[in-house]
Structure 1
Amino acid sequence: MSAPMRLQRRDALVELANRMKSAQRVAQDLTVQNRELNRLHSRALVRILDDLREQALDVDDDLARALEGVRDRLRLVYPDPLATFWGRLNLGHILARDLAEARNNLIDAANEFTRADLSTVDLARADLAWIRWDHHTRWPTREWAERILRASVEHPPGSGVFTVLPEEDHDSAELTVMS
């Protein structure tokens, strides 16, 4: 997906990442020893993953396929691994880990604009908080480049990679990473 399109769909990517966190919690709950409750959790997780996949189709086909893979893994192993506590524990941890990794990758994709060409993008209404950029990133005008530099902090220091802080945090020397 091109940098301008990713910037346009950034809110949807972040929303998907936030919804993945709830799916991750449901996956972790698969460690519950009650078998019937586990079936309910598994069905709820499949529904959540189906909903996330549908929402992802509007954003990115590769993301939708990745979510489908996580969902299919759950369907493939259910119900056999759920028959034992250790099976539930392993499945819950595997799915929670996969979802956490997918969520982190999604957040990275939504915020990564190093070497991006944004010179043709109208940034006037774009939420640029937390995006990462470097000296290779192309901005629409010199004024935009200067404004972004003022609103950013180099993170980690000395790396040449900058993170745009939210408007109210410009003067803060500390960087809190979006989670």
Structure 2
Amino acid sequence: MARLHDELVLLPAETRIQNRDGLHELVSGFVQLQASVRELSLHKEGDRVVGGFGRPQMSVARSILRSQVDPRVEDLRLISRRLTAWPISVENLLLRLLSEVRDEVDSCVIALGRPRYVGAGKRIPEARSRLRVVQEVMGEVQRLIEAAADDFSGADLTRVDPAMSDLAWLQWDAATQWPRGWEERIRRMSLEHAPGQFVVQPVDADDRADWLADV
């Protein structure tokens, strides 16, 4: 995780700008994958129903794995490979992370589907705990990628053409460098959501007005 953070931080601003749509797709994919893993972690041993599930059954867990987790992992792999001018080191880190997540979820699914026998009562809570760890890891990756897509505080954007780039919801500050002649225009397009910190507004910001008000 630390290495992925370091790799993303070191990416040139123009590379991140170029891939903002893909990065946002990755964020959305990790949110959906996290939700599917959470659904698996709601399995409870015993008869009490939690999250729509009662006693763990292999068929139910496998169904979630095959219909939700697997397709979402594959979608994330495809998005990672579509990013342009993207360092192979970052792509490999993401692909390896997805493989590790898939293997860990598969292992937990097997534990959740254990029939009742000595030790099953211990394995099932352990599997649910491991799934919660997977959720936390994915949440952290989501935040790192979101920052790579949106946080350009202190970044050098002098080589970026704002007229040809989608800057909606981009975050910047006084240290961010813009191409000559764009500083005032960008300031007029932005709202200050904290002292010295700004967010570029889209043409129609009504759908996110509450988000800005809550920052």
TM-score interval, smaller chain: 0.7 to 0.9
Q: Unaligned 5+ residue runs, structure 1?
A: none
CA drift at 1:106: 1.3
2:155·2:176 contact (CA, 8 Å) conserved in 1? yes
8 A Cα contact 1:50 1:68, kept in partner: no
Partner of 2:136: 97
Matched, 1:51 2:75: yes
What is the Cα-based RMSD across aligned positions, in Å? 2.7
Match for 1:70 among 101, 125, 130? 101
- 2:32 matched residue in structure 1: 22
Aligned-residue offset at 1:67: 2.8
- Partner letter of residue 35 of structure 2? R
The answer (yes or no) to whether the contact 2:58–2:110 under 8 Å persists in 1 is: no
- Indicate the larger mover: 50-59 or 108-117: 50-59
Aligned in 2, Cα 1:177/1:71: closer, same or farther, shift over 3 Å?
A: farther
- The aligned residue for residue 137 of structure 1 is 176
Counterpart Cα distance in 1 of 2:30 and 2:108: 20
Q: Which residue of structure 2 lines up, in the alignment, with residue 115 of structure 1?
A: 154
Label 1:173 to 1:86 Cα distance change in 2 as closer, same or farther (>3 A): closer
3-state SS in 1 of match to 2:187: helix
Shift of the 63–176 alpha-carbon distance from structure 1 to 2, 3 Å rule, reads farther
Task: Give SS of 2:191's match.
Answer: strand
Q: What is the rounded CA distance, in whole Å, between the counterparts of 1:94 and 1:82 in structure 2?
A: 19
2:61 is matched with 38
**Which segments of 5 or more consecutive residues in structure 2 lack a partner in the other structure?**
1-10, 44-55, 84-89, 115-122
Instruction: Report the structure number with the largest CA radius of gyration.
Output: 2
Residues 174 and 105 (structure 1), Cα distance of their counterparts in 2 relative to 1, 3 Å cut = closer
- Aligned: 1:148 with 2:186: yes
Alpha-carbon displacement from aligned partner over 1:92-116 (angstroms, at most 9, x marks no partner): 3222222222222211110011121
Kindly indicate whether the alpha-carbon contact (under 8 Å) linking 2:193 and 2:199 is maintained by their aligned counterparts in 1.
Answer: yes
Quote how far apart the aligned CAs of 1:18 are: 1.0
How far apart, in 2, do the equivalents of 1:64 and 1:146 lie?
A: 40
Tell me the SS of whatever aligns to 1:139: coil
Instruction: State the distance in 2 between where 1:177 and 1:51 align.
Output: 32
Deviation at 1:11, TM superposition (A): 0.4
Matched position secondary structure for 1:153: strand
What's the TM-score once normalised by structure 1's chain length?
Answer: 0.81
Identity %: 30
Q: Do the aligned residues in 1 keep the contact of 2:61 with 2:112 (CA within 8 Å)?
A: no
- TM-score, normalised with respect to structure 2: 0.69
1:59-95: per-residue Cα shift (whole Å, max 9, x none)?
Answer: 2413333333323332455523553542443233222
| TM-superposition CA deviations, 1:20-78 (whole Å, max 9, x none) | 22211210111233331112223341342133123213324133333333233324555
The 8 Å contact of residues 57 and 112 in structure 2, kept in 1 or not, is answered as: no
Residues 54, 64 of structure 1: 8 Å contact kept = no
